[in-house]
């Protein structure tokens, strides 16, 4: 049975000498895996180009009961992403976004809010001309909201500490090892005010931006056991001044 899908490509993994596995987050069914034939023909090269990380595609998926992997046909780009793949900075951000999503998303069920957020973010990254250095910060914070692990910023007060384990602000630390000092905790509150429309107004130097990313990923790992170690943040840390 073939079913029409819309999807965001997350990654491609070599499966055998003849096939790759492509993981796609779809609007209709959440996370799906597809067996895609390798090849050196012009058609294979064109198909592979359409299945690069963060590609937005329309396709028909062959879904067979009892099988984890599906197959694709009639794959088409939903939107061109020339800037993301031509600009080395945007390409590095795309690599980070796709790796984070690969580790953070385990849902094999429909979640249109999450799909719409990811699709919207891809298009924002494609068209962004200012504030690009903060895109991954903004994306990571707001993704956490959709994953249900956002900090409770309603508990923030000036001078309070942030309890990373519980996700709340407290007047003083009390046990445990995952606390942010008041100056660091204030940044968490500030991030809740960041949007893609105003991210260019947030001024961080390289050290500050890298520290913010490290803190957010530590918070993710405390609340999301599948995150693990990511390789792409080390690339991002070398890009922005």
Domains of the chain by start residue, with CATH: 1-78 (2.40.50.140), 82-150+192-241 (1.20.1440)
| Average pLDDT over all residues of the chain | 91
Average pLDDT of the segment spanning 161-174: 94
Helix segments in 28-154, DSSP class H: 42-50, 82-86, 88-104, 112-127, 135-146
CA of 209: how far to CAs of 1, 62, 237, 240, in Å?
48, 43, 8, 9
**Mean of pLDDT values over 190-215:** 94
Burial zone of 225 (CB within 10 Å; 0-12 exposed, 13-18 middle, 19+ buried): exposed
Using DSSP's 3-state secondary structure scheme, residue 94 falls into helix
What pLDDT, on a 0 to 100 scale, did the predictor assign at position 241? Answer: 61
- The string of pLDDT tens digits covering residues 43-67 is 667 777 889 999 999 999 998 887 8
To the question of pTM greater than 0.85 for the whole model, the response is yes
- Token pair of 96 as six digits: 């980070």
Q: What is the tens place of the pLDDT at every residue in 74-86?
A: 899 998 899 999 9
User: Residue 51, class by beta-carbon neighbours within 10 Å (0-12 exposed, 13-18 middle, 19+ buried)?
Assistant: buried
């Amino acid at each position: 049975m073939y079913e029409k899908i819309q999807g965001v490509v997350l990654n491609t993994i070599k499966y055998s000498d003849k096939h790759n596995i492509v993981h796609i987050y779809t609007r209709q069914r959440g996370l799906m895996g597809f067996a895609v034939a390798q090849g050196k023909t012009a058609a294979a090269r064109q198909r592979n180009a359409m299945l690069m990380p963060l590609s937005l595609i329309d396709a028909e998926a062959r879904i067979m009961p009892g099988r984890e992997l599906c197959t694709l046909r009639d794959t088409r780009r939903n939107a061109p992403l020339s800037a993301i793949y031509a600009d080395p900075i945007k390409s590095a951000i795309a690599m980070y976004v796709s790796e984070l999503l690969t580790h953070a998303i385990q849902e094999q069920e429909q979640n249109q809010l999450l799909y719409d957020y990811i699709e919207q973010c891809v298009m924002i990254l494609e068209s962004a001309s200012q504030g690009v250095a903060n895109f991954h910060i903004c994306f990571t914070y707001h993704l956490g909201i959709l994953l249900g692990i956002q900090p409770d910023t309603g508990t923030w007060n000036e001078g309070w500490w942030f309890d990373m384990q519980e996700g709340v602000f407290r007047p003083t630390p009390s046990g445990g090892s995952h606390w942010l000092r008041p100056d660091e905790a204030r940044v968490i509150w500030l991030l809740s005010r960041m949007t893609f429309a105003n991210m260019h107004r947030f001024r961080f130097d390289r050290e500050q931006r890298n520290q913010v990313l490290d803190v957010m990923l530590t918070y993710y790992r405390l609340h999301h056991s599948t995150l693990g170690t990511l390789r792409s943040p080390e690339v991002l840390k070398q890009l922005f001044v």
